[in-house]
Amino acid sequence: MESYLLDWANLLLRWLHLITGVAWIGASFYFVMLDNSLKPPKKPEDARRGVFGELWAVHGGGFYCSQKFLAGPQGEPLTDDLHWSKWEAYTTWLSGMSLLAVVYWIGASSYLIDTKVLALTPPVAVSLSIAFLAAGWVVYDLLCRSLMGRDGLLAALVFAFVVLADWLLHQVFSARGAYIHVGAMLGTMMVANVFIHIIPGQRRMVEQIRNGQPVDSRPGLIGKQRSVHNTYFTLPVLFIMISNHYPMTYSNANGWLVLVVMMLAGVLIRQFFVLRHRGQVKWWLPAAGVALLAVLIVLMAPKAVDASGDKVSLASVRKVVEQRCVTCHAAQPTQPGFAQAPKGVVLQTPEQIGQHAAKMAETVASGYMPLGNLTGITDDERKLIATWYAQGARLAN
């Protein structure tokens, strides 16, 4: 029953995380586009009212005019009916952290710990997980505070820090756990930007406007900087969110480097759209991003398995599968923490083994399966399954 309820918690939290993430990212993308697309106001009276820029748009059968005031309206009160974009961010992070707890903290032995990387106990692994997330924000925030106004250097150092964290996480956790913690670290930076800098800064500006005081522009500049950072973090985080479905990425021998290339490609492609909203079309940016992905695809292509030699029998493969795989991949799993076979893959009969032969050979050979190598599969047994598949995955002995 406990595993069944955890599956429901996983499903509902994942659904909530996706919904609120779409809302947050959509708002972030929209406001970055809006900021970069503003034109000077056409009406002199709008300029006198304090309008910095405006954008006319058509959507859903209607016409809209968005106007930006840097320091609030001039000569008229600021409306009490202000919309604050914050709950999308907070709910995305809270649901994501809850999902992290359900999958990677409660299931630390299966998903977070890889004894071939580092022999950790679940309490130690969870403590390190929390420490990484907290340290990531502290280092990032210190870099931003100390390099205010030096955006180029700051961007380079933040990227270098994320790369270092990516490599360190791969020396501590399972490959899948390392990937998700890079994403969780970036997501924590993003929401902390909103909670600690953007929203409080906006509140101070609103209070100054309503009290008739001169508006301090510094909170606005900081908020703008952190919002820009958030938009560049977005595509890497989205990739990491879906990466657990593709073990060819994180289970690669150089999985940490694969993630670096994927993140860099995402940043280049995002930069193209940011500049395009300003009227600067630089096609080399998406071309460079796509080129990086193409090189990655070529370099990661699986090497051909030597299918020569004695034919591997189905009986020998079934013996390995029964010892190493069926504890999870059964109609009624016996491995603690699993109420049903992962992804519905059952490997108890020759027909079932044949049906999933390709994916089984790929995930076993890559080292992704069994999860955390809980069943102690050997390299020779991995090679046996890969060779059997390369020989045609015969179901007859």
Q: What residues does 59 pair with on adjacent strands? A: 62
**Interior angle at CA 289, CA 288 and CA 294, nearest 5:** 95
| pLDDT given for residue 75 in this prediction | 82
| pLDDT given for residue 215 in this prediction | 84
Q: 39: helix, coil or strand?
A: strand
| pLDDT given for residue 296 in this prediction | 93
Specify the residue for token string 């002995």.
Answer: 397
**Interior angle at CA 172, CA 292 and CA 365, nearest 5:** 60
As a whole number of angstroms, the distance between CA 250 and CA 263 comes to 13
DSSP character at residue 342: G
CA dist 46 to 54, 199, 214, 217, Å? 10, 26, 20, 21
Instruction: Return per-residue pLDDT of the chain as tens, 397 residues.
Output: 566 788 788 889 999 999 999 999 999 899 889 988 999 999 999 998 989 999 999 998 899 999 998 888 888 888 888 888 899 999 999 999 999 999 999 989 888 998 889 999 999 999 999 999 999 999 999 999 999 888 889 999 999 999 999 999 999 999 999 999 999 999 999 999 999 999 998 899 888 888 888 888 888 888 888 998 998 999 999 999 999 888 889 888 899 999 999 999 999 999 999 899 888 999 999 999 999 999 999 998 877 777 777 788 888 888 888 888 878 888 888 877 777 787 788 888 888 888 888 888 888 877 777 777 777 888 888 888 888 888 887 776 6
| pLDDT given for residue 129 in this prediction | 97
As a whole number of angstroms, the distance between CA 362 and CA 375 comes to 18
Residue pair 174/113 in contact by the 8 Å Cβ criterion: yes
As a whole number of angstroms, the distance between CA 91 and CA 15 comes to 12
Residue pair 89/347 in contact by the 8 Å Cβ criterion: no
| pLDDT given for residue 316 in this prediction | 85
Return the number of other C-beta atoms located less than 10 Å from residue 5's C-beta: 10
Question: Whose CA is closest to 326, among 347, 298, 357?
Answer: 347
> What are the φ and ψ backbone dihedral angles of 55, each rounded to 5 degrees?
-140, 125
Strand intervals (E) in 11-148: 51-59, 62-69
CA dihedral 259→260→264→267, nearest 10 degrees, is: 60
As a whole number of angstroms, the distance between CA 181 and CA 168 comes to 11
* Whole-structure pTM value: 0.84
| pLDDT given for residue 309 in this prediction | 72
Q: What residues does 39 pair with on adjacent strands? A: 54
| pLDDT given for residue 1 in this prediction | 59
